[in-house]
Amino acid sequence: MKFSELVRLLEDNKFRLVKEKGSIRYYGKPDCDKLVRVDFHGSKEVPARSSAEPESQDSDPE
């Protein structure tokens, strides 16, 4: 998935650009108090393991 496709997916799900500084964009929606940070790089591929993905359950120390 490219960064531009990720942004389109966010916008299709009612997220809107809240603020932008350089290549960093923050998206939010009215019913959510948290922002989604996207380090936008246009046509480049989003890394396979991004910080938006949940961590593995195996890394939970007991």
39: Cβ contacts below 8 Å, ≥ 6 apart:
3, 23, 24
What does the block give as tokens for 26? 């923050």
Q: Does domain 3-45 have CATH number 3.40.50.620?
A: no
Across 48-58, average pLDDT: 55
Residue with tokens 């490219």: 2
**Which tens digit of pLDDT belongs to each residue from 22-39?**
999 999 999 889 999 998
- Identify the pLDDT of residue 55: 47
What's the pTM? 0.68
Tell me the domain boundaries of the chain.
3-45
Q: How far apart are the first and last CA of the chain?
A: 35
Work out the angle at residue 42's Cα, subtended by the Cα atoms of residues 11 and 13, and round it to the nearest 5 degrees. 10
